[in-house]
Amino acid sequence: MYKVSVVIIGLLLMLQTRAQEGVSIDTAKKITILYTNDLHAHLDPHRVPWISNTRLVGGFANIATRVKQEKAANPNTLYFDAGDFFTGPFISSLTKGEAVINVMNYLSIDAACIGNHEFDHGWENVPDQLRKARFPVLNGNIFLKGKKKLLWNNPYTIIQMNGIRIGVIGLHGQFAFYDTIADEMIQGVETRDEEKYLRKYIKELRKKADLVILLVHQGIPGRQSSTGNTDVARNLQRDIDLAATIPGIDIMITGHAHQGTPQALLSNGTIIVSTDALGTELGKLEISYNPLKDKITAHNNTLNYLYDDEVADDTATARVIADWKQKVKQITDEKVTTIPVSLTRSYGEESVMGNMVADAILYTYPGYDMAVTNSGGLRQDIDAGTVTVGNIISAFPFPNTIHQLEIRGVDLYELFEHGAGLTNGILQVSKGVEIQCDENKPVGSRIISCKLNGMDIDRDKTYKVLTSNFLSDGGDGFVAFKKALTRKKTTQEIVQSMISYLKQYKEYQPLLEGRIKKI
Ligand code: FE
Protein backbone atom coordinates (compact mmCIF):
# COMPACT_ATOMS: atom_id res chain seq x y z
CA MET A 1 0.00 0.00 0.00
CA TYR A 2 2.80 2.36 1.01
CA LYS A 3 4.82 1.56 -2.12
CA VAL A 4 1.80 2.26 -4.30
CA SER A 5 1.26 5.66 -2.74
CA VAL A 6 4.94 6.56 -3.24
CA VAL A 7 4.60 5.74 -6.93
CA ILE A 8 1.41 7.79 -7.20
CA ILE A 9 3.01 10.75 -5.44
CA GLY A 10 6.05 10.46 -7.75
CA LEU A 11 3.81 10.56 -10.81
CA LEU A 12 1.87 13.45 -9.40
CA LEU A 13 5.06 15.40 -8.70
CA MET A 14 5.98 14.95 -12.38
CA LEU A 15 2.59 16.31 -13.40
CA GLN A 16 3.07 19.19 -11.01
CA THR A 17 6.38 20.11 -12.68
CA ARG A 18 4.64 20.09 -16.04
CA ALA A 19 1.85 22.30 -14.72
CA GLN A 20 4.43 24.77 -13.44
CA GLU A 21 5.81 25.17 -16.96
CA GLY A 22 2.49 26.66 -18.00
CA VAL A 23 2.64 29.52 -15.47
CA SER A 24 2.91 32.50 -17.76
CA ILE A 25 -0.67 32.57 -19.02
CA ASP A 26 -1.78 36.22 -18.96
CA THR A 27 -5.22 35.46 -17.62
CA ALA A 28 -3.86 33.57 -14.61
CA LYS A 29 -4.86 35.11 -11.32
CA LYS A 30 -2.49 34.72 -8.41
CA ILE A 31 -3.41 34.12 -4.81
CA THR A 32 -1.13 33.45 -1.85
CA ILE A 33 -2.42 31.17 0.88
CA LEU A 34 -0.69 31.19 4.25
CA TYR A 35 -1.52 28.33 6.58
CA THR A 36 -0.96 26.78 9.98
CA ASN A 37 -2.46 23.83 11.84
CA ASP A 38 -2.19 22.39 15.35
CA LEU A 39 -0.99 25.65 16.88
CA HIS A 40 -1.73 24.10 20.30
CA ALA A 41 -1.73 27.32 22.27
CA HIS A 42 1.99 27.88 21.74
CA LEU A 43 1.61 31.64 22.15
CA ASP A 44 5.31 32.06 22.92
CA PRO A 45 8.35 31.10 20.83
CA HIS A 46 9.71 27.79 22.08
CA ARG A 47 12.53 25.30 21.67
CA VAL A 48 11.99 22.39 19.27
CA PRO A 49 15.05 20.11 19.56
CA TRP A 50 14.70 18.62 16.07
CA ILE A 51 14.74 22.12 14.54
CA SER A 52 17.36 23.82 16.71
CA ASN A 53 18.77 23.44 20.20
CA THR A 54 19.62 27.09 20.50
CA ARG A 55 17.16 29.09 18.41
CA LEU A 56 13.54 29.53 19.47
CA VAL A 57 10.79 29.09 16.89
CA GLY A 58 7.12 29.97 16.55
CA GLY A 59 5.06 32.30 18.73
CA PHE A 60 1.80 34.06 17.86
CA ALA A 61 3.40 37.53 17.86
CA ASN A 62 5.82 36.31 15.18
CA ILE A 63 3.01 34.70 13.17
CA ALA A 64 1.07 37.98 13.35
CA THR A 65 4.07 39.93 12.01
CA ARG A 66 4.68 37.55 9.11
CA VAL A 67 1.00 37.42 8.12
CA LYS A 68 0.75 41.21 8.18
CA GLN A 69 3.96 41.54 6.14
CA GLU A 70 2.69 39.09 3.53
CA LYS A 71 -0.73 40.75 3.33
CA ALA A 72 0.86 44.21 3.02
CA ALA A 73 3.21 43.06 0.28
CA ASN A 74 0.43 41.26 -1.61
CA PRO A 75 -3.21 42.05 -0.85
CA ASN A 76 -4.29 38.84 -2.58
CA THR A 77 -3.17 36.85 0.44
CA LEU A 78 -5.28 34.66 2.72
CA TYR A 79 -4.41 32.97 6.02
CA PHE A 80 -6.11 29.72 7.09
CA ASP A 81 -5.72 27.40 10.07
CA ALA A 82 -6.65 23.72 10.17
CA GLY A 83 -7.61 23.29 13.82
CA ASP A 84 -6.27 22.27 17.25
CA PHE A 85 -5.50 25.73 18.50
CA PHE A 86 -6.36 24.70 22.09
CA THR A 87 -4.26 22.62 24.50
CA GLY A 88 -0.56 23.06 24.97
CA PRO A 89 1.08 25.49 27.35
CA PHE A 90 -0.88 26.17 30.55
CA ILE A 91 -2.62 29.33 29.34
CA SER A 92 -5.07 27.26 27.28
CA SER A 93 -6.01 24.82 30.07
CA LEU A 94 -6.37 27.56 32.69
CA THR A 95 -8.69 29.64 30.48
CA LYS A 96 -10.47 26.73 28.71
CA GLY A 97 -9.10 28.09 25.45
CA GLU A 98 -10.37 31.64 25.87
CA ALA A 99 -6.88 33.19 25.89
CA VAL A 100 -5.98 31.36 22.68
CA ILE A 101 -9.07 32.58 20.78
CA ASN A 102 -8.45 36.09 22.07
CA VAL A 103 -4.85 36.13 20.80
CA MET A 104 -5.87 34.51 17.50
CA ASN A 105 -8.08 37.55 16.92
CA TYR A 106 -4.83 39.47 16.30
CA LEU A 107 -3.48 37.11 13.61
CA SER A 108 -5.56 38.27 10.59
CA ILE A 109 -6.98 34.78 10.13
CA ASP A 110 -9.43 34.44 7.21
CA ALA A 111 -10.89 31.11 8.35
CA ALA A 112 -10.10 28.19 10.65
CA CYS A 113 -11.65 24.77 11.19
CA ILE A 114 -12.35 22.98 14.48
CA GLY A 115 -9.88 20.33 15.72
CA ASN A 116 -10.30 17.58 18.30
CA HIS A 117 -8.47 19.48 21.05
CA GLU A 118 -11.05 22.25 20.94
CA PHE A 119 -13.15 19.68 22.87
CA ASP A 120 -10.67 19.18 25.73
CA HIS A 121 -12.86 21.22 28.09
CA GLY A 122 -16.12 19.68 26.94
CA TRP A 123 -18.40 20.11 23.94
CA GLU A 124 -20.45 22.88 25.56
CA ASN A 125 -17.30 24.99 25.96
CA VAL A 126 -16.67 24.88 22.20
CA PRO A 127 -19.38 27.31 21.03
CA ASP A 128 -18.90 29.38 24.21
CA GLN A 129 -15.30 30.06 23.20
CA LEU A 130 -15.76 30.18 19.41
CA ARG A 131 -18.34 32.95 19.81
CA LYS A 132 -15.39 35.12 20.96
CA ALA A 133 -13.56 34.63 17.63
CA ARG A 134 -13.53 37.56 15.23
CA PHE A 135 -12.70 35.29 12.29
CA PRO A 136 -14.89 32.60 10.70
CA VAL A 137 -14.59 29.18 12.32
CA LEU A 138 -15.90 26.42 10.08
CA ASN A 139 -17.30 22.97 10.69
CA GLY A 140 -19.95 21.10 8.76
CA ASN A 141 -20.14 17.59 10.30
CA ILE A 142 -20.17 17.83 14.11
CA PHE A 143 -23.84 17.65 15.13
CA LEU A 144 -25.75 17.81 18.39
CA LYS A 145 -26.34 14.15 19.26
CA GLY A 146 -29.39 12.78 17.46
CA LYS A 147 -30.30 16.20 16.06
CA LYS A 148 -30.23 17.86 12.66
CA LYS A 149 -28.47 20.87 14.12
CA LEU A 150 -24.74 21.42 13.80
CA LEU A 151 -22.87 22.23 17.03
CA TRP A 152 -21.34 25.25 15.29
CA ASN A 153 -23.52 26.14 12.36
CA ASN A 154 -20.96 27.36 9.85
CA PRO A 155 -19.95 24.67 7.35
CA TYR A 156 -18.38 26.96 4.78
CA THR A 157 -17.68 30.52 3.78
CA ILE A 158 -17.07 32.20 0.44
CA ILE A 159 -14.27 34.73 0.06
CA GLN A 160 -13.94 37.06 -2.94
CA MET A 161 -10.35 37.80 -3.87
CA ASN A 162 -8.67 39.02 -7.05
CA GLY A 163 -11.91 38.37 -8.93
CA ILE A 164 -12.06 34.76 -7.77
CA ARG A 165 -14.75 33.30 -5.53
CA ILE A 166 -13.09 30.97 -3.04
CA GLY A 167 -15.29 28.51 -1.15
CA VAL A 168 -13.74 27.34 2.12
CA ILE A 169 -15.20 24.26 3.86
CA GLY A 170 -14.39 23.06 7.39
CA LEU A 171 -14.69 19.38 8.41
CA HIS A 172 -13.47 16.97 11.10
CA GLY A 173 -12.49 13.36 10.38
CA GLN A 174 -14.83 10.95 12.15
CA PHE A 175 -12.04 8.54 13.08
CA ALA A 176 -9.76 11.25 14.49
CA PHE A 177 -12.66 12.66 16.53
CA TYR A 178 -13.47 9.44 18.35
CA ASP A 179 -9.84 8.26 18.49
CA THR A 180 -8.50 11.24 20.38
CA ILE A 181 -11.19 12.91 22.51
CA ALA A 182 -12.14 11.71 25.99
CA ASP A 183 -15.66 10.21 25.82
CA GLU A 184 -17.04 12.33 28.62
CA MET A 185 -16.08 15.51 26.79
CA ILE A 186 -18.29 14.77 23.76
CA GLN A 187 -21.44 13.34 25.35
CA GLY A 188 -23.77 15.83 23.63
CA VAL A 189 -22.32 15.72 20.11
CA GLU A 190 -21.56 13.31 17.27
CA THR A 191 -19.33 13.61 14.26
CA ARG A 192 -20.89 12.25 11.07
CA ASP A 193 -19.27 10.86 7.92
CA GLU A 194 -16.99 13.59 6.57
CA GLU A 195 -17.11 12.14 3.04
CA LYS A 196 -20.89 12.48 2.81
CA TYR A 197 -20.83 16.08 4.00
CA LEU A 198 -17.84 16.98 1.85
CA ARG A 199 -19.76 15.84 -1.26
CA LYS A 200 -22.80 17.83 -0.16
CA TYR A 201 -20.88 21.06 0.41
CA ILE A 202 -18.83 20.75 -2.79
CA LYS A 203 -22.11 20.35 -4.67
CA GLU A 204 -23.58 23.43 -2.99
CA LEU A 205 -20.46 25.44 -3.81
CA ARG A 206 -20.32 24.38 -7.46
CA LYS A 207 -22.28 27.39 -8.67
CA LYS A 208 -21.18 29.79 -5.97
CA ALA A 209 -17.40 29.38 -6.00
CA ASP A 210 -14.55 29.05 -8.51
CA LEU A 211 -12.14 27.36 -6.12
CA VAL A 212 -12.80 24.98 -3.24
CA ILE A 213 -10.47 24.87 -0.25
CA LEU A 214 -10.99 22.24 2.44
CA LEU A 215 -9.78 22.87 5.98
CA VAL A 216 -9.81 19.46 7.62
CA HIS A 217 -8.63 17.88 10.85
CA GLN A 218 -8.24 14.12 10.40
CA GLY A 219 -6.03 11.05 10.12
CA ILE A 220 -3.53 9.81 12.68
CA PRO A 221 -2.52 11.91 15.68
CA GLY A 222 0.78 13.76 15.81
CA ARG A 223 3.67 12.08 17.64
CA GLN A 224 4.23 13.63 21.05
CA SER A 225 7.94 13.34 21.33
CA SER A 226 11.09 15.40 21.55
CA THR A 227 12.27 14.17 18.14
CA GLY A 228 11.13 14.85 14.55
CA ASN A 229 9.21 12.66 12.15
CA THR A 230 9.63 12.59 8.41
CA ASP A 231 7.28 9.96 6.96
CA VAL A 232 5.08 12.48 5.10
CA ALA A 233 3.14 10.09 2.89
CA ARG A 234 2.29 7.61 5.65
CA ASN A 235 1.22 10.34 8.04
CA LEU A 236 -1.01 12.10 5.52
CA GLN A 237 -2.39 8.93 3.93
CA ARG A 238 -5.95 9.69 5.09
CA ASP A 239 -5.74 13.07 3.31
CA ILE A 240 -4.37 11.49 0.14
CA ASP A 241 -7.19 8.92 0.24
CA LEU A 242 -9.93 11.50 0.86
CA ALA A 243 -8.83 13.56 -2.14
CA ALA A 244 -8.63 10.38 -4.22
CA THR A 245 -12.20 9.45 -3.24
CA ILE A 246 -13.89 12.81 -3.63
CA PRO A 247 -13.24 15.00 -6.66
CA GLY A 248 -13.63 18.75 -6.58
CA ILE A 249 -11.27 19.83 -3.78
CA ASP A 250 -8.73 22.23 -5.24
CA ILE A 251 -6.67 22.68 -2.08
CA MET A 252 -6.69 20.75 1.18
CA ILE A 253 -5.09 22.26 4.29
CA THR A 254 -4.93 19.50 6.84
CA GLY A 255 -4.12 19.10 10.52
CA HIS A 256 -3.83 16.43 13.26
CA ALA A 257 -0.79 14.45 12.03
CA HIS A 258 1.68 17.24 12.88
CA GLN A 259 3.33 16.46 9.58
CA GLY A 260 4.72 19.25 7.44
CA THR A 261 4.75 19.10 3.65
CA PRO A 262 7.99 20.74 2.44
CA GLN A 263 6.63 19.85 -1.00
CA ALA A 264 2.87 19.90 -1.49
CA LEU A 265 1.36 16.44 -2.02
CA LEU A 266 -0.92 15.91 -5.00
CA SER A 267 -3.78 13.45 -5.06
CA ASN A 268 -6.50 13.32 -7.72
CA GLY A 269 -5.67 16.93 -8.68
CA THR A 270 -5.95 18.17 -5.07
CA ILE A 271 -3.01 20.08 -3.61
CA ILE A 272 -2.48 18.90 -0.01
CA VAL A 273 -0.48 20.94 2.48
CA SER A 274 0.19 20.96 6.23
CA THR A 275 2.76 22.19 8.75
CA ASP A 276 4.69 20.38 11.47
CA ALA A 277 2.47 22.00 14.13
CA LEU A 278 2.98 24.23 17.19
CA GLY A 279 3.43 27.30 14.98
CA THR A 280 7.03 26.40 14.18
CA GLU A 281 6.39 27.20 10.52
CA LEU A 282 4.10 29.39 8.50
CA GLY A 283 3.16 27.55 5.32
CA LYS A 284 2.94 29.54 2.11
CA LEU A 285 1.17 28.19 -0.97
CA GLU A 286 1.14 30.42 -4.04
CA ILE A 287 -1.29 29.47 -6.78
CA SER A 288 -2.10 30.66 -10.30
CA TYR A 289 -5.75 30.16 -11.21
CA ASN A 290 -6.85 30.32 -14.83
CA PRO A 291 -10.54 31.35 -14.97
CA LEU A 292 -10.90 30.27 -18.61
CA LYS A 293 -9.76 26.74 -17.84
CA ASP A 294 -11.32 26.98 -14.36
CA LYS A 295 -8.29 25.38 -12.73
CA ILE A 296 -5.07 25.97 -10.86
CA THR A 297 -2.37 25.99 -13.52
CA ALA A 298 0.65 26.36 -11.25
CA HIS A 299 1.54 26.26 -7.59
CA ASN A 300 4.53 26.70 -5.36
CA ASN A 301 4.66 25.66 -1.71
CA THR A 302 7.18 26.50 0.99
CA LEU A 303 7.32 25.83 4.73
CA ASN A 304 9.15 28.62 6.47
CA TYR A 305 10.48 28.25 10.00
CA LEU A 306 9.52 31.19 12.17
CA TYR A 307 12.83 31.78 13.94
CA ASP A 308 12.22 34.17 16.80
CA ASP A 309 15.57 35.92 16.21
CA GLU A 310 14.55 36.76 12.63
CA VAL A 311 11.06 38.14 13.20
CA ALA A 312 10.06 41.16 15.26
CA ASP A 313 7.05 40.67 17.55
CA ASP A 314 3.78 42.22 16.48
CA THR A 315 3.40 44.64 19.40
CA ALA A 316 -0.38 44.39 19.85
CA THR A 317 -0.21 40.58 19.85
CA ALA A 318 2.75 40.50 22.25
CA ARG A 319 0.89 42.83 24.63
CA VAL A 320 -2.24 40.69 24.78
CA ILE A 321 -0.16 37.53 25.35
CA ALA A 322 1.67 39.22 28.23
CA ASP A 323 -1.68 40.30 29.74
CA TRP A 324 -3.04 36.77 29.70
CA LYS A 325 0.09 35.32 31.32
CA GLN A 326 -0.06 37.99 34.02
CA LYS A 327 -3.61 36.92 34.88
CA VAL A 328 -2.56 33.35 35.77
CA LYS A 329 0.94 34.08 37.08
CA GLN A 330 0.05 33.50 40.74
CA ILE A 331 -1.00 29.93 39.94
CA THR A 332 1.67 29.06 37.40
CA ASP A 333 4.74 30.50 39.17
CA GLU A 334 4.34 28.30 42.24
CA LYS A 335 7.48 26.19 42.70
CA VAL A 336 7.00 22.42 42.96
CA THR A 337 10.52 20.95 42.93
CA THR A 338 13.79 21.14 41.01
CA ILE A 339 15.23 18.69 38.48
CA PRO A 340 18.93 18.28 37.58
CA VAL A 341 18.13 17.17 33.99
CA SER A 342 15.16 17.81 31.72
CA LEU A 343 12.01 15.70 31.81
CA THR A 344 11.70 14.67 28.17
CA ARG A 345 9.13 12.67 26.26
CA SER A 346 9.26 9.84 23.78
CA TYR A 347 6.46 8.40 21.69
CA GLY A 348 8.02 5.01 21.07
CA GLU A 349 10.20 4.39 24.13
CA GLU A 350 10.24 4.68 27.87
CA SER A 351 10.68 8.34 28.80
CA VAL A 352 11.59 10.10 32.03
CA MET A 353 8.41 12.17 31.71
CA GLY A 354 6.29 9.04 31.18
CA ASN A 355 7.86 7.34 34.21
CA MET A 356 7.22 10.38 36.39
CA VAL A 357 3.55 10.69 35.38
CA ALA A 358 2.83 6.97 35.86
CA ASP A 359 4.63 6.96 39.25
CA ALA A 360 2.68 10.06 40.32
CA ILE A 361 -0.63 8.31 39.56
CA LEU A 362 0.44 5.19 41.50
CA TYR A 363 1.65 7.38 44.39
CA THR A 364 -1.92 8.66 44.81
CA TYR A 365 -3.36 5.13 45.23
CA PRO A 366 -0.43 2.98 46.39
CA GLY A 367 -2.52 -0.16 46.87
CA TYR A 368 -2.69 -0.67 43.10
CA ASP A 369 -0.46 -2.93 40.99
CA MET A 370 0.46 -0.39 38.35
CA ALA A 371 -0.38 2.88 36.63
CA VAL A 372 -0.24 3.45 32.88
CA THR A 373 -0.54 6.61 30.82
CA ASN A 374 -0.49 7.36 27.10
CA SER A 375 2.53 8.97 25.41
CA GLY A 376 0.12 11.17 23.44
CA GLY A 377 -1.00 12.91 26.63
CA LEU A 378 2.48 14.24 27.38
CA ARG A 379 2.67 17.52 25.49
CA GLN A 380 5.75 19.45 26.57
CA ASP A 381 9.19 18.71 28.06
CA ILE A 382 10.18 20.36 31.35
CA ASP A 383 13.64 21.90 31.26
CA ALA A 384 16.21 21.26 34.00
CA GLY A 385 16.00 23.65 36.95
CA THR A 386 12.95 24.81 38.86
CA VAL A 387 9.69 23.01 38.12
CA THR A 388 6.57 25.16 38.53
CA VAL A 389 2.86 24.38 38.51
CA GLY A 390 2.79 26.07 35.10
CA ASN A 391 5.40 23.62 33.77
CA ILE A 392 3.33 20.68 34.99
CA ILE A 393 0.08 21.91 33.43
CA SER A 394 1.92 22.55 30.15
CA ALA A 395 3.38 19.03 30.24
CA PHE A 396 -0.04 17.47 30.94
CA PRO A 397 -2.63 20.04 29.83
CA PHE A 398 -5.72 17.85 30.22
CA PRO A 399 -8.30 17.93 33.02
CA ASN A 400 -8.05 14.11 33.11
CA THR A 401 -8.97 12.26 36.28
CA ILE A 402 -7.83 8.86 37.56
CA HIS A 403 -9.89 5.72 36.97
CA GLN A 404 -9.34 2.59 39.07
CA LEU A 405 -9.74 -0.62 37.10
CA GLU A 406 -9.58 -4.33 37.60
CA ILE A 407 -8.39 -5.79 34.36
CA ARG A 408 -7.39 -9.25 33.18
CA GLY A 409 -3.77 -10.01 32.29
CA VAL A 410 -4.79 -11.01 28.77
CA ASP A 411 -6.29 -7.55 28.22
CA LEU A 412 -3.14 -5.91 29.57
CA TYR A 413 -1.15 -7.74 26.89
CA GLU A 414 -3.57 -6.39 24.26
CA LEU A 415 -3.10 -2.84 25.57
CA PHE A 416 0.68 -3.09 25.51
CA GLU A 417 0.48 -4.51 21.96
CA HIS A 418 -1.57 -1.54 20.78
CA GLY A 419 1.04 0.77 22.29
CA ALA A 420 3.90 -1.11 20.64
CA GLY A 421 2.10 -0.72 17.27
CA LEU A 422 2.97 2.99 17.63
CA THR A 423 -0.08 4.47 15.88
CA ASN A 424 -0.86 6.26 19.15
CA GLY A 425 2.44 5.85 20.99
CA ILE A 426 3.43 3.32 23.67
CA LEU A 427 1.91 3.11 27.13
CA GLN A 428 4.18 4.66 29.74
CA VAL A 429 4.25 2.49 32.87
CA SER A 430 4.90 2.86 36.61
CA LYS A 431 7.80 1.44 38.63
CA GLY A 432 7.93 -2.34 38.78
CA VAL A 433 6.50 -2.95 35.30
CA GLU A 434 8.94 -4.31 32.72
CA ILE A 435 7.96 -4.81 29.10
CA GLN A 436 10.07 -6.29 26.33
CA CYS A 437 9.06 -5.71 22.75
CA ASP A 438 10.38 -6.23 19.24
CA GLU A 439 9.45 -3.55 16.73
CA ASN A 440 10.57 -5.67 13.81
CA LYS A 441 7.67 -8.03 14.43
CA PRO A 442 4.26 -7.33 12.90
CA VAL A 443 1.85 -5.07 14.76
CA GLY A 444 -0.13 -7.17 17.22
CA SER A 445 2.69 -9.58 18.06
CA ARG A 446 5.46 -7.31 19.23
CA ILE A 447 5.30 -7.91 22.98
CA ILE A 448 7.79 -10.54 24.08
CA SER A 449 7.25 -10.33 27.82
CA CYS A 450 5.47 -8.27 30.47
CA LYS A 451 6.55 -8.48 34.08
CA LEU A 452 5.27 -6.98 37.30
CA ASN A 453 7.82 -6.88 40.13
CA GLY A 454 9.89 -9.54 38.38
CA MET A 455 6.99 -11.99 37.78
CA ASP A 456 5.40 -12.60 34.38
CA ILE A 457 2.00 -10.99 34.06
CA ASP A 458 -0.44 -13.89 34.09
CA ARG A 459 -3.04 -13.75 31.32
CA ASP A 460 -5.62 -15.44 33.55
CA LYS A 461 -5.11 -13.24 36.60
CA THR A 462 -6.78 -9.92 37.39
CA TYR A 463 -4.71 -6.83 38.07
CA LYS A 464 -5.50 -3.54 39.78
CA VAL A 465 -4.61 -0.82 37.33
CA LEU A 466 -4.80 2.98 37.47
CA THR A 467 -5.13 5.13 34.38
CA SER A 468 -6.75 8.31 33.08
CA ASN A 469 -10.45 8.61 32.27
CA PHE A 470 -9.34 9.17 28.64
CA LEU A 471 -7.67 5.75 28.37
CA SER A 472 -10.22 4.01 30.57
CA ASP A 473 -12.87 4.97 27.98
CA GLY A 474 -10.75 3.48 25.18
CA GLY A 475 -9.04 6.68 23.98
CA ASP A 476 -6.08 6.68 21.55
CA GLY A 477 -7.23 3.28 20.30
CA PHE A 478 -6.60 1.55 23.67
CA VAL A 479 -9.98 -0.14 23.39
CA ALA A 480 -9.11 -3.11 25.62
CA PHE A 481 -9.54 -0.83 28.64
CA LYS A 482 -13.26 -1.11 27.94
CA LYS A 483 -13.02 -4.80 28.88
CA ALA A 484 -12.09 -3.94 32.48
CA LEU A 485 -13.97 -6.14 34.96
CA THR A 486 -14.59 -3.22 37.31
CA ARG A 487 -14.18 0.53 36.85
CA LYS A 488 -14.25 3.16 39.56
CA LYS A 489 -14.10 6.82 38.62
CA THR A 490 -12.30 9.15 41.00
CA THR A 491 -12.32 12.94 40.96
CA GLN A 492 -8.54 13.04 41.45
CA GLU A 493 -6.95 15.09 38.65
CA ILE A 494 -3.70 13.71 37.27
CA VAL A 495 -2.11 17.16 37.33
CA GLN A 496 -2.77 17.36 41.07
CA SER A 497 -1.20 13.90 41.53
CA MET A 498 1.90 15.10 39.68
CA ILE A 499 2.16 18.18 41.88
CA SER A 500 1.75 16.22 45.15
CA TYR A 501 4.17 13.53 44.02
CA LEU A 502 6.91 15.95 42.99
CA LYS A 503 6.48 18.16 46.06
CA GLN A 504 7.86 15.32 48.21
CA TYR A 505 11.25 15.87 46.64
CA LYS A 506 13.51 18.88 47.14
CA GLU A 507 15.17 17.64 43.97
CA TYR A 508 13.49 15.01 41.81
CA GLN A 509 15.81 12.71 39.86
CA PRO A 510 14.41 11.76 36.40
CA LEU A 511 15.50 8.19 35.65
CA LEU A 512 15.25 5.67 32.84
CA GLU A 513 15.10 2.21 34.36
CA GLY A 514 14.54 -0.14 31.46
CA ARG A 515 10.80 -0.36 32.10
CA ILE A 516 10.31 -0.75 28.35
CA LYS A 517 13.04 -2.67 26.59
CA LYS A 518 13.38 -2.82 22.81
CA ILE A 519 14.96 -5.84 21.18
FE1 FE B 1 -5.57 16.95 16.39
Is this model's pTM higher than 0.85 or not? yes
Q: Which domain holds residue 452?
A: 335-518
Q: What is the pLDDT of residues 222-233, one digit of tens each?
A: 877 665 555 666
pLDDT at 99: 98
pLDDT at 25: 44
Whether 285 and 433 share a structural domain: no
Q: Which helix (H) or strand (E) holds 354?
A: helix 352-364
What's the 117 CA to ligand 1 centre distance in angstroms? 6
Q: What is the pLDDT of residues 279-325, one digit of tens each?
A: 999 999 999 999 999 999 999 999 999 999 999 999 999 999 999 99
Whether 315 and 344 share a structural domain: no
Whether 87 and 143 share a structural domain: yes
Whether 317 and 364 share a structural domain: no
Task: Give yes or no for a contact between 84 and 336, defined as CB atoms under 8 angstroms apart.
Answer: no
Q: What is the pLDDT of residues 77-116, one digit of tens each?
A: 999 999 999 999 999 999 999 999 999 999 999 999 999 9
Whether 204 and 121 share a structural domain: yes
The CATH number given to whatever domain includes residue 32 is: 3.60.21.10
What does R_g of the chain's alpha carbons equal in angstroms? 23
- Mean pLDDT estimate for the chain: 93
Whether 376 and 296 share a structural domain: no
Burial (CB count within 10 angstroms: exposed 0-12, middle 13-18, buried 19+), residue 325: middle
Q: Is 138 left (phi over 0), alpha (psi -120 to 50) or beta?
A: beta
Q: Where among 292, 323, 354 does a domain terminate?
A: 323
The CATH number given to whatever domain includes residue 408 is: 3.90.780.10
Task: Look at residue 222 and tell me if it is in a domain.
Answer: yes
Whether 389 and 313 share a structural domain: no
Task: Look at residue 30 and tell me if it is in a domain.
Answer: yes
What's the 177 CA to ligand 1 centre distance in angstroms? 8
Whether 401 and 466 share a structural domain: yes
What's the 212 CA to ligand 1 centre distance in angstroms? 22
Task: Look at residue 201 and tell me if it is in a domain.
Answer: yes
What's the 110 CA to ligand 1 centre distance in angstroms? 20
Q: What is the pLDDT of residues 57-80, one digit of tens each?
A: 999 999 999 999 999 999 999 999
Task: Look at residue 87 and tell me if it is in a domain.
Answer: yes
Whether 394 and 278 share a structural domain: no
Whether 309 and 343 share a structural domain: no
Q: Where among 323, 347, 368 does a domain terminate?
A: 323
Give yes or no for residue 26 having a pLDDT over 60: no
Task: Look at residue 11 and tell me if it is in a domain.
Answer: no
What's the 114 CA to ligand 1 centre distance in angstroms? 9
Count: domains in the chain: 2
Whether 191 and 261 share a structural domain: yes
Task: Look at residue 13 and tell me if it is in a domain.
Answer: no
Whether 362 and 312 share a structural domain: no
Q: Where among 323, 347, 374 does a domain terminate?
A: 323
Lowest mean pLDDT among 1-10, 217-226, 332-341: 1-10
Percent of the chain clearing pLDDT 90 (strictly above): 89
Sign of dihedral through CA atoms 385, 391, 396, 401? positive
The rounded distance, in Å, linking the Cα atoms of 422 and 481 is 17
What's the 116 CA to ligand 1 centre distance in angstroms? 5
Task: Look at residue 465 and tell me if it is in a domain.
Answer: yes
What's the 59 CA to ligand 1 centre distance in angstroms? 19
Task: Look at residue 4 and tell me if it is in a domain.
Answer: no
